[in-house]
Amino acid sequence: MTAAGLRIAGIARGAAARLRFDAVEITAHEGEILASALLAAGIRTLRHAPGDGGPRGLFCAMGSCQECVVQIEGQRIEACRVLVRDGMEVRSLP
Amino acid sequence: MTSRQEPRYELRYELIVIGAGPAGAAAALEADARGLKTLLLDEVLEAGGQVYRAPLAGLSQLPASREAQAGNALRAALAASTVSSAFGHRVWAVEPGFKVFSLGPDGPLEAEAEALILATGALERHVPIPGWTLPGVTGLAAATVLLKSQAMLPGRRVVVAGSGPLLPLVAASILKSGGEVAAVVDATPRAGWLGQMPAFMTRPALLARGAGWIGQLLAHRVPLLSGHALVRIEGTDGVEGVHIAAVDAAGAPVRQAAARRIECDAVCYGFGLQPATELTRLLGAAHHYVPRLGGWTVKTDADQRTSLARLYAAGDGAGVLGVAAAPGRGRLAALAALHDLGRLDEAAWQRAARPLRRRLARAAAFGQGMTALAAPGLASHERITAGTTVCRCEGLNRETLDAAIAQGAVSLNDLKAATRCGMGPCGGRVCGDTAAALIAAATGQAREMIHEATARPPLRPLPLDQLVGDFNYADLPIPAPAPL
């Protein structure tokens, strides 16, 4: 099943924004939380776990669990604490 | 050559409040209204905490709910006050006295105050099962963030599972927003809800709201499975389905019952709330284990004072009593601080505090009923298989932790030292309660004998360069070596 159509209908959102997550370009809205924008674009795997290398993604959505950490301009930050900006370049952790 | 980036504020305040949810905001407003120079800090960009979390700018609101109105009123009151607010500031350490270290969008902030109110809220409790680390599994609180502040569904076909009042809330919210709920899986037996009825009856309006949620679920023919729990979540790159089994009143799977598979693309999963105790632990305040308050919580008196002078705790961070009780607790903490700082005489203090204490007693009954309901049964850990990842950060499964416990690691500090459980980026926030339950189960100790691990700063991962700033090695004062 795809994650298409997760944005709740009938809600006006901020200006369109484009960003990249690794090689993938996605469109979102200014001011959306990055993790949420990625989810809506069908991107759920944000990193791979130490140890078993299993896929990990958004879990607590409140900056506590550290599962959604990504890299933006060389700095590690939780995707649930970052607001989308047009032109943002996001990398998954190495 | 630049010197270390100067903190934007370096300031002395009379009171610092950490956490701008309903309790913290109320505390700051009360203190400010009575003339205390107050700093209010929060990690997120706007006041409101979790329950009154602001929808993001540019987002037209879903029909204004009670929460939305309350949240807007709170934010407006703060804006109209003379409270100094530092939003987007993540507190990473606190020292006695008190000195608060935080990092904000423009750099470090170090602030001092004689009195400190902690209102840092609660964390969700989890019961790990195979597959719970898969993308697509989020907490119930996380689902409310997505739904309320992002106007986003967690998935197209969602299983909502665990225990507590967030279950029907999240499920109803998903339905209202056009999503599908494949099932609501509640580990609490139906009798559990009935058992808390006396407490719920103290707040008929809230009770009616809950009944409304259930009504919606029934109207949409959502399967409501009481006395059931997830035993497995499946999928390769993300959630594809779950297995559900009947559980007894203590949470142990009923062996004879067949597991049932339900397809879904997301799981919202959680077992009630527990107080966030990092800061109170870091400062060395006394704590106690009270299941009806969510487990380990800082000890407070009727005025929200902790065991340390001029340190107060309010809101769910001081025991999960819910949002209705939060503003009153915040105000009581502020009033106590004002009195203890000599800024409010005894008579005025009692006049202001007495009605708040009375109202709190009523709100507390309902809150405690809810929290008691959400507590996982004492045998819930039986659902954690040997291969299940318990410490997500370090990738430690139950088998690894049980082995260390068997070798003598019978406290959370010991277990941390032996395995690194709790030493990863989450600081034990996600795994701590489970690790303690495993120790209790293995050693036969009561849960209240397993204390939380020692808190260590930094309480969150920090980008070192933002703390340190720019500097030249040439500027470092290195003393000449002593003569041989």
Q: How is B25-46 classified by DSSP, letter by letter?
A: HHHHHHHHHTT--EEEEESSSS
pLDDT of amino acid B468: 75
Q: Is A72 on the interface with B (CB under 8 A)?
A: no
Of the candidates B57, B178, B393, the beta carbon closest to that of A9 is on: B178
Amino acid in position B453? A
State the pLDDT confidence band at A20, using cuts at 50, 70 and 90. very high
| Region label for A61, one of left (φ > 0), alpha (ψ between -120 and 50) or beta (otherwise) | left
Could you give the 3-state DSSP secondary structure of residue B305?
strand
Closest CA to B173 of B189, B187, B153: B153
Please tell me the distance from the alpha carbon of residue B238 to that of residue B469, in angstroms, as a whole number. 39
Of the candidates A3, A7, A59, the beta carbon closest to that of B151 is on: A7
Q: Does the model's ipTM exceed the 0.90 cut?
A: yes
pLDDT of amino acid B72: 92
Tell me the C-alpha to C-alpha distance, in Å, between residue B287 and each of B17, B318, B381: 20, 10, 24
Buried b / exposed e over B43-56, threshold 16 CB at 10 Å, is: bbebbbbbbbbbbb
Q: Is B177 on the interface with A (CB under 8 A)?
A: yes
- Identify each DSSP E strand in chain A by its residue range: 16-21, 24-29, 47-48, 55-56, 69-72, 75-78, 88-91
Give the closest-approach CA distance of B236 to chain A in angstroms. Answer: 9
Long-range contact pairs involving B409-417 (C-beta distance under 8 Å, separation at least 24):
B409/B439, B410/B439, B410/B442, B410/B443, B410/B445, B411/B439, B411/B450, B411/B451, B412/B436, B412/B439, B412/B450, B412/B451, B412/B452, B412/B453, B413/B453, B413/B454, B415/B439, B416/B453
Please tell me the distance from the alpha carbon of residue B366 to that of residue B200, in angstroms, as a whole number. 5
Q: Identify the bridge partners of residue A71 per DSSP, sorted by sequence position.
A: A76, A91
State the pLDDT confidence band at A1, using cuts at 50, 70 and 90. very low
Give the closest-approach CA distance of A56 to chain B in angstroms. Answer: 5
Of the candidates A3, A12, A63, the beta carbon closest to that of B60 is on: A12
Q: How does pLDDT run across A28-87, given as a tens digit for each residue?
A: 999 899 999 999 999 999 999 988 899 999 999 999 999 999 999 989 999 999 999 999
Please tell me the distance from the alpha carbon of residue B368 to that of residue B371, in angstroms, as a whole number. 5
Please tell me the distance from the alpha carbon of residue B69 to that of residue B261, in angstroms, as a whole number. 40
| B383 DSSP assignment | G
Tell me the C-alpha to C-alpha distance, in Å, between residue B319 and each of A25, B287, B315: 44, 11, 7
pLDDT in tens, chain B (484 residues): 333 455 555 689 999 999 999 999 999 999 999 999 999 999 999 999 998 988 876 566 555 678 888 999 999 999 999 999 999 999 999 999 999 999 998 889 999 999 999 999 999 999 999 999 999 999 999 999 999 899 999 999 999 999 999 999 999 999 999 999 999 999 998 877 777 777 777 778 888 888 888 888 989 999 999 999 999 999 999 999 999 999 999 999 998 778 899 999 999 999 999 999 999 999 999 999 999 999 999 999 999 999 999 999 999 999 999 999 999 999 999 999 999 999 999 999 999 999 999 999 888 888 888 888 888 888 999 999 999 999 999 999 999 999 999 999 999 999 999 999 999 999 999 999 999 999 999 999 999 999 999 999 999 999 888 777 677 888 888 889 999 8
Distance of CA B384 to the CA centre of its chain: 22
Which residue in chain A is spatially nearest to B235 when comparing CA positions?
A: A55
Question: In this structure, is the dihedral angle defined by the CA atoms of residues B461, B463, B469 and B474, taken in order, positive or negative?
Answer: positive
Q: Cβ contacts of residue A22 below 8 Å, gap of 6+?
A: A90, A91, A92
